[in-house]
Amino acid sequence: MSKSGFYKMIGVLLVLAFCLAPAGAWAGKALKIAIVAPSASNDLAFTQSIVDGIKAVQKERTIELAVTDGTFIVEDAAAAIRDYAQKGFDLVIAHGSQYGGSLKEIAKDFPKTAFAWGTSADTFGLPNVSSYEAASDEGGYVMGVMAAALSKKGGVGVVGPIEVGDAKLFVDGFVAGAKAQKAGIRANVNYIGSFSDVALAAEAARAHMATGADVLTGTAQMVVGAIGAARSRRVAWFGTQANQTELAPEIVVACQVYKWEVILRKILADLDSGVLGGKKYAITLANNGLVIEFNDAYKLPAGVKQAGLDAVAAIKSGKIKPLR
Amino acid sequence: MTVEAVFPVLEMRGIGKRFPGVIANENVDFDLRKGEVHTLLGENGAGKSTLMKILYGLYRPDAGELRLNGRPVRLSSPSDAIAHGICMIHQHFMLVPSLTVAENVALGLRSTRGPLTDLRHVARRIGELSDAFGLQVDPFADVWQLAVGERQRVEIIKALYRDASILILDEPTAVLTPREVDDLFETFRRMARQGRSLIFISHKLHEVLTLSDRITVLRNGRVTGETDPCNTSREELARMMVGRDVNLAPEKPAATVCEARLQIENLVVAGDRGTDAVCDVNLAVCGGEVLGLAGVSGNGQRELAEAVCGLRKPKSGVIRVDGQPVAPGNPKAVRKAGLAYVPEERMRDGAIGDFNIMENLLLLDHGEKRFCRNGFLRFGRIFKHCRKLVRAYAVKTPTLETPAKNLSGGNIQKLILARELSGNPKVLIAAQPTRGVDIGAAEYIHARLARQRTGGTATLVISEDLDEIFALADRIAVMCQGRLMGIVDRHEATRERIGLMMAGVDPDSPSKDYCPVSESTSR
Amino acid sequence: MNDFWTATILVATVASGIRLATPFLLASLGEALGQRSGVLNLGVDGVMLLGAFGAYYAVLKTNNLLLGVAVGVLLGALLGLFYAFITVNLRAQQGISGIGIYLFGLGMSDLLFQKLVGTPRPIMPFAIVRFPVLSDIPVIGEMFFDHSLIVYVAFLLVPLFTFIINRTTYGMNVRAIGENPEAADSLGVSVGRVRYSALIIGNSLAGLAGAALAIELGIFQQNLTNAMGFIAIALVYFGAWRPIGVMAGSLVFGLVASIVLQCKTLGIIPRSASDLAAMAPAVITVLALVVVANRFRQPAALTKPYIRGQ
C-alpha cells in the first residue's frame, strides 16, 4: 500500500467513525450497557449484585445488557472492556477495583463512551468515568452490633479474602459495630489470602469456631465454604453483598444487600442529559442503596433485631459514622 | 557338537520386510536345528535385528512364512513368542533397573499366588538355575546395583526360567571382558548340549568362529551365504559381510618416536555419582604414536576423556599439551592448545542433529576471521571450505544443507572427523571411533587415524573393541575401576593379557590387585 | 502464643489440617500411580473439577451421597480413559495434553454448573463417622476419629496402594513400565493395558478427590478446586512417587495451611503479614520439594510415549 493510500484509508475510517459513533450513541432508544466482572454473575455475592442492579433498572427502561463474567485475570477484563467500547456500547461498567489501572488507559481512548468503575471513589479526573462504591462499612457496623448482641460465648469471627477495597470496609465496619455493642467482645478477623479458595474459607470458619466464636460473617465469593462450615455447627451467619439466605436458611440471620440500581439510575440520568461521567457515587443505608434484609425463618431475639434497627436509624440520621 | 541335531525347530522362509524407503529383509531363509548355535552375521543395518524382531513378534513380516517344529505359526507379540518358547536376550539389556533380580525374572509371568507376587518361589527357582548353569546372582539385589556381567546373567536366567527352547542372543558380548566372554560361551554351549537352540548375532568375527555351529551372513537385507566355522576364515566372512575384500589390519610404518605431546599427570576426576571415576592416572602420548586405551565400559575412560578435553573439571592433576599446562575445565582453552576430540556419544556431544552439514563442520571455526567478518558469516568461503572437507573425508550426503541427523552413523563420524582433523591437531582423543559404524566406514576411519599418526599427531584411542585397539595402537593402556592397570607394547600384548588387565588382574602378580568389573556408569 | 497450645485449639488445628489434606491425598495418590506407569497428567485439577461438579449435581438431585461419590469417580474414570487414549494410542505430548484436560474440566464444570444449576445451592455434606472406642479417646479421638467417611477412606488407601504397588504383579508391572517399558514389553507385559488401567484408576481418584471436596463443603462454584490439582502434582514429586511420601506431603501442606489459618485467627500472625503467611504452605512445600527431589529419581520413562521397536 502506498503512503497516500494509507492516509486516505485512515481519513475514510475517521469520517465513518464520526458519522457512526454519535448515531450509535444517541439515536437508538435501547441503551446498550456492558458489565465486566471478576466472578460468576450468579455468585450470590459481588458480581451478582451489579447484574441484579441492572436487571432492576431494566424493568423501568429498555436496556440491552451484555455481561462478561469470570474475568479474574485483569488482562482479560481489560480486553473485554476495550471490546465493548469499540462495539459502541453506551455505558461500560468495570465492576472490580482491580480493573482501575486498565480502565484509566482505555477511557482516554474512547472519550465518547461512558464508563463506570467500582468499587472506588476515583474517576481519574476523566470526564467520561464515573466511580461508584458501597459504604459497606455501614451494613457491616449494623451486623457487628447484632452479632455482638447475639453472641453467647463473647466471640465473633470474620472470614475475609484479602485486606482491600469493599472487603476491608465491610470487615472494619463489622468489627467497629461489634466493639461498640460489647466492648469486651473478641472479634477475630481472618483474611485467608484468596478470593477463590472455598476449602480454606471453610477451615477458617472452623478455626473461628474452635476459638470460641459463635457468630460468623464473611465477604467475597469464597465464603460459600465458610457458610457451609457454619451451617454444619449451627452457628449464626451474617451475609453481605447479596442475600445468602438460601445457602443456609437455618443460620443466616440477616444480609446486607447492595442495590446498585439506586446509583445506576443516577448514572443513566446523567447520560440522558449528555454527561458521560466525572462524578462519584456511593450506595448507603441513607439512600437505600444498602438494605439490611432479615431472614424471617431465623428466630432472632427481638432485642437483638431492635439493636440492629436502631443502628440503621442512627447511621441514616448521621448520628453514627462507622469508620469516621 | 552331536549330530543328532538335524531336525529344524525353526524355519523362516522367504521373509520380507520393508520400512518406508528401506528394504530391511528380502526373501530371507533361515533355519535352526535342535541343540545348535546358529550365527547370524552382518553389518549394522544388514537386517539381522529386523529378522530377529520378526521372530520375536515385535514386527510383522510383509512376506514369508514362519514354522516352529514344522507347524506354521503367526507371532504377533513378544508374549506369543514367549509362549512358543522363544526368548530374546537383547543387546541393550531389557532389565528394569529399579526392580530386583527376582522381580525382573517374574515380570510378565503368571504368579502362583494369583494377583500377589510370588518372589520367594521365583528366587528359589533362580537359585536352582544359577547352580545348574553356573550363573551366580543374588535374586533380591536391585538390578541397578549389579555389574554388567551380572546383568547379563540375569538376562540369561530370564530365558532359562521361561524354559526357552530357542534363544536369540543379540550381540551379548558387547560389554563384557574377554574372560567374561569365555564364561558366557561356556554357558551357551551347556545350554545347547541340553537341546536348546541358540541364534547368535554378532559382528565380531573371532567370536563367531569360536562359538558357532553354523553361520548365515546377511548383507543389505539378503542372505549372502551360509557356512560353518570349519570351512571358512575371518577374511571370507568379512568379504561376505561387506561384499568386497577388506583389509582387517592396515599396514603401518613403525612409530617415529619423539617427545610426549600429551601428558596427563596425577589426574583425579569425579564421576556423575560424585565418587572418583578416575584415580590418579599418569599417561603420556607421543607425537606420531597411537595409544590405545582399553577397558570395559564404565571404568573411567569417558570421564578421563572428558577431563582431558576440558568438558569435566578434574579434582586434581595436570594436563599438558606440548609441555604447556592447559586450563582445567575450559574446553575453549584446550581446543586452542591444539587438542581435538571425537566423542563417544557422537549424536549428543559430537554433532547437532538438527544443524546441517555445513553448520556442523563450522561449529569450531565460525568465529575465525576467514569465515566471519564483523559478526557476519562469509557464506561463499564457508561453502567452499565445507565442500572441500566433505569430499576429502568421503562424507556421503545429498547436499551440504542436509541435517546431520539424516546421515548414517558412519557418515556422521566422518563428518566429525573432518571437522576435528581439519585444524591438524597436535593431540587427538578419539573415543569409540567406530562403534556402530559399518565396516566400510570403519576401515576409512582407521586409515584416517593412521594417516594422522604419520603426520605427527599424538592420538589417544579409547575403545572397548579389542580388535580395534590391536589394529590401531602402538601401545595399549588398560583401565579398570578408574585406575591405570598398566601399559603394554603392542608387540608384547596378547588378548589374554589385556583381558586379564581389563578384569583388574595384574598379570605380573595375579594374586593381588583384583578389582571386580565395576558397574557401568549411569545411563 | 499461649492461646495456640490449648488442647481445643490444637485438636481443631490438626483436625483441620487432616481435612484440608484429604483432597490433596486422594488426587496425588492417583497421580502417583499414573506417573509410576510413566504417564504425567497435568490435568488433575480439571478432573477434580468435573468430579466435584458431577458429585455435587448428583447429590443436589437425589440427596444420595453414595451416588454422588460414584458419579465423581465415574467421571474421573472416563477422563482417565480419554487421557489414556490420547497419551497411549495417539502418543500425544503429555505436558500440553494434560493442560488440555485441565482447561476442559475447568470450562466444562463451570458451563454445566451455569446451565444446570445456576446459583450455588447447598447440598447435604458428609456426616461425621465416629468409632465406638477410638473416637472417645481424649484429644486423639477428636483429632483423628472425628471425620467424615471419605477422610478415613483416603488415608486407608495409602497402605492399600503401598501394598498394590509393591506386592502385587499388577504393581510390579506398573513399576516396570514406568522405568523401562521396552523390557516389560519384551516379556509380554502389555504397556498399553497397564498404562490404561493406571490412568483410569488414578483419574478415578482425582474424580473422587473432587467429589470429596464438593460434598465435604456442601457446595459447588466456578473453579471450586482453586488449583488444588496442581499442588497435588507437586506433592507427588514431594512424596517421591510413594504413597507414604505422598501422604506425608499432603499432611505437611494441610497442616501448615491450618496452622497459619489458626495463627491468623488468633492474631498470632499480624494482619499486615496475612497475605504473606497465606503463601506459607506453598513455600514450605516447594522448599521441601527441593530437599527431597534430589534424593529420588523420577520413573525413567515418565512423559515418554512408548513406541514398540524404538
B319 and B177 in a single domain? The answer is no
Least confident of A300-309, B80-89, B109-118, C284-293: C284-293
Rounded CA separation C230/A134 (Å):
36
In 10 A of CB A212, how many CB atoms?
Answer: 16
**pLDDT average, residue stretch A170-197:** 93
Is C235 inside a domain boundary?
no
Is A324 inside a domain boundary?
no
- Predicted pLDDT at B511: 44
B260 and B208 in a single domain? The answer is no
Instruction: Say whether pLDDT at C73 is over 90.
Output: yes
A170 and A200 in a single domain? The answer is yes
B20 and B56 in a single domain? The answer is yes
State the best of C217, C272, C279 to mutate against chain A, taking most chain A CBs within 10 Å: C217
- Residue B263 is placed in which grid cell? 601428558
Average pLDDT, chain A: 88
- Of C61, C64, C80, C298, give the one whose Cα is nearest residue C209: C80
Average pLDDT, chain B: 85
Buried b vs exposed e over C268-277: b needs ≥16 C-beta within 10 Å? ebeeeebbeb
Instruction: Say whether pLDDT at B6 is over 90.
Output: no
A127 and C CB contact within 8 Å: no
Pick from B175, B210, B242: which residue ends a domain? B242
Chains C and B touch (3+ CB pairs under 8 A): yes
SS (H, E, C) B156-215: HHHHHHCCCCEEEEECCCCCCCHHHHHHHHHHHHHHHHCCCEEEEEECCHHHHHHHCCEE
A119 and A172 in a single domain? The answer is no
A98 and A231 in a single domain? The answer is no
Comparing CB atoms, the residue among C20, C271, C275 nearest residue A203 is: C20
**pLDDT average, residue stretch C169-184:** 94
Is C11 inside a domain boundary?
no
- Predicted pLDDT at B3: 45
B353 and B481 in a single domain? The answer is no
Is C131 inside a domain boundary?
yes
Cβ-contact A212, A155 below 8 angstroms: yes
A120 and C CB contact within 8 Å: no
Give me the phi and psi of B160, to 5 degrees please.
-65, -40
Is B3 inside a domain boundary?
no
Task: Tell me the pLDDT tens digit for each residue of B460-480.
Answer: 999 988 888 988 899 999 998
**Contact residues on chain A for C267, CB-CB shorter than 8 A:** 188
Is A167 inside a domain boundary?
yes
Cβ-contact C205, C255 below 8 angstroms: no
- Residue B420 is placed in which grid cell? 576435528
**Cα Rg, chain A, nearest whole Å:** 22
Is A107 inside a domain boundary?
yes
B376 and B447 in a single domain? The answer is no
A200 and C CB contact within 8 Å: yes
Give me the count of residues in chain B.
523
Instruction: Say whether pLDDT at C70 is over 60.
Output: yes
Average pLDDT, chain C: 91
**pLDDT average, residue stretch B356-379:** 82
Comparing CB atoms, the residue among C12, C125, C228 nearest residue A232 is: C125
Q: In percent, how much of chain B has pLDDT > 70?
A: 93
- Predicted pLDDT at B508: 62
B369 and B513 in a single domain? The answer is no
Which residue type does C159 have?
A: P
Rounded CA separation C156/C205 (Å):
13
Instruction: Say whether pLDDT at A7 is over 60.
Output: no
Comparing CB atoms, the residue among C213, C224, C261 nearest residue A207 is: C261
Comparing CB atoms, the residue among B77, B97, B103 nearest residue C188 is: B77
Distance in Å, alpha carbon of C155 to nearest chain B alpha carbon: 22
Chains B and A touch (3+ CB pairs under 8 A): no
- Predicted pLDDT at B510: 47
Domain count, chain B: 3
Cβ-contact B262, B284 below 8 angstroms: yes
Instruction: Say whether pLDDT at B523 is over 60.
Output: no
Least confident of A175-189, A216-230, B287-301, C286-300: C286-300
B332 and B194 in a single domain? The answer is no
A164 and A107 in a single domain? The answer is no
Comparing CB atoms, the residue among C19, C118, C219 nearest residue A198 is: C219
A17 by Cβ neighbours in 10 Å (0-12 / 13-18 / 19+) ranks as: exposed
Instruction: Say whether pLDDT at A41 is over 90.
Output: no
**pLDDT average, residue stretch C133-158:** 91
Is C249 inside a domain boundary?
no
**Contact residues on chain C for B109, CB-CB shorter than 8 A:** 187
**Contact residues on chain C for B117, CB-CB shorter than 8 A:** 167-169, 172
- Predicted pLDDT at B509: 53
- Predicted pLDDT at C127: 87
Instruction: Say whether pLDDT at B255 is over 80.
Output: no
**CB-based contact C300 B97, cutoff 8 Å:** yes
**Cα Rg, chain C, nearest whole Å:** 20
Domain coverage including residue B268: 250-338+426-523
Confidence of residue A14 (pLDDT cuts 50, 70, 90): low
- Predicted pLDDT at C310: 56
Is B1 inside a domain boundary?
no
**Contact residues on chain B for C180, CB-CB shorter than 8 A:** 94-97
Task: Tell me the pLDDT tens digit for each residue of C41-54.
Answer: 999 999 999 999 99
Confidence of residue C199 (pLDDT cuts 50, 70, 90): very high
B306 vs B496 pLDDT, higher one: B306
Confidence of residue B396 (pLDDT cuts 50, 70, 90): confident
Comparing CB atoms, the residue among B53, B59, B107 nearest residue C187 is: B107
- Predicted pLDDT at B92: 78
Task: Tell me the pLDDT tens digit for each residue of A82-136.
Answer: 999 999 999 999 998 889 999 999 999 999 999 999 888 889 999 999 999 999 9
Domain count, chain C: 1
Cβ-contact B94, B155 below 8 angstroms: yes
B107 and B165 in a single domain? The answer is yes
Long-range pairs for C3-6 at CB < 8 Å and ≥24 separation? C3/A211, C3/C266, C3/C268, C4/C262, C4/C263, C4/C266, C4/C268
Q: In percent, how much of chain A has pLDDT > 90?
A: 71
Task: Tell me the pLDDT tens digit for each residue of B23-64.
Answer: 889 999 999 999 999 999 987 778 888 899 999 988 899 999
Task: Tell me the pLDDT tens digit for each residue of B78-100.
Answer: 888 989 999 998 877 889 999 99
Least confident of A12-16, C14-18, C22-26: A12-16
Cβ-contact C46, C102 below 8 angstroms: yes
**CB-based contact B117 C309, cutoff 8 Å:** no
A127 and A153 in a single domain? The answer is no
Q: Which of residues 21-50 of C touch A (CB under 8 A)?
A: 23
CA distances from B480 to B151, B301, B474 (A): 18, 9, 20
Domain count, chain A: 2
Domain coverage including residue C93: 22-226
Is B222 inside a domain boundary?
yes
Domain coverage including residue A185: 136-259+288-317
Is B2 inside a domain boundary?
no
A298 and A273 in a single domain? The answer is no
- Predicted pLDDT at A22: 43
**CB-based contact C120 A44, cutoff 8 Å:** yes
B95 and B221 in a single domain? The answer is yes
The 8-class DSSP code of residue B411 comes to H
B475 and B363 in a single domain? The answer is no
Q: Using an 8 Å CB-CB cutoff, list residues of chain B that contact chain C.
A: 53, 56, 58-59, 77-79, 82-83, 88, 90, 93-99, 103-104, 106-109, 111, 115-117, 158
- Predicted pLDDT at C13: 93
Chains near C (3 or more Cβ pairs under 8 Å): A, B
Distance in Å, alpha carbon of C240 to nearest chain B alpha carbon: 14
DSSP string for B233-272? -HHHHHHHHHSS---SS---PPP----EEEEEEEEEEE-T
A147 and A255 in a single domain? The answer is yes
A294 and A305 in a single domain? The answer is yes
Confidence of residue A5 (pLDDT cuts 50, 70, 90): low
**pLDDT average, residue stretch B177-196:** 88
B406 and B450 in a single domain? The answer is no
Q: In percent, how much of chain B has pLDDT > 90?
A: 30
A56 and A168 in a single domain? The answer is no
Percentages (nearest 5) of helix, strand, coil residues in chain B:
35, 25, 40
A193 and A49 in a single domain? The answer is no
Complex-level ipTM:
0.89
**pLDDT average, residue stretch A257-274:** 92
**pLDDT average, residue stretch A1-6:** 50
Which residue of C lies nearest to B52 if distances are taken between CA atoms? C309
Instruction: Say whether pLDDT at B335 is over 90.
Output: no
Task: Tell me the pLDDT tens digit for each residue of B296-328.
Answer: 877 888 899 999 988 888 999 999 998 889 888
Task: Tell me the pLDDT tens digit for each residue of C260-297.
Answer: 999 998 888 888 787 788 888 888 878 877 777 667 78
Q: Please report, for the domain that includes residue A207, its CATH number.
A: 3.40.50.2300
Q: In percent, how much of chain A has pLDDT > 70?
A: 91
Q: ω into residue C225 within 30 of 0, thus cis?
A: no
Least confident of A156-160, B102-106, B122-126, B397-401: B397-401
Confidence of residue B1 (pLDDT cuts 50, 70, 90): very low
**CB-based contact C9 A39, cutoff 8 Å:** no
A150 and A184 in a single domain? The answer is yes
Instruction: Say whether pLDDT at B234 is over 90.
Output: no
A201 and A300 in a single domain? The answer is yes
Instruction: Say whether pLDDT at A11 is over 60.
Output: no
- Predicted pLDDT at A26: 44
Q: Highest-confidence range of A125-139, B168-182, B243-257, B391-405, by mean pLDDT?
A: A125-139
Confidence of residue A324 (pLDDT cuts 50, 70, 90): low
- Predicted pLDDT at A69: 87
**CB-based contact B82 C300, cutoff 8 Å:** no
Give me the count of residues in chain C.
310
**Contact residues on chain C for A196, CB-CB shorter than 8 A:** 223, 226
**CB-based contact A210 C12, cutoff 8 Å:** yes
Q: Which of residues 185-244 of C touch B (CB under 8 A)?
A: 185-190
B351 and B459 in a single domain? The answer is no
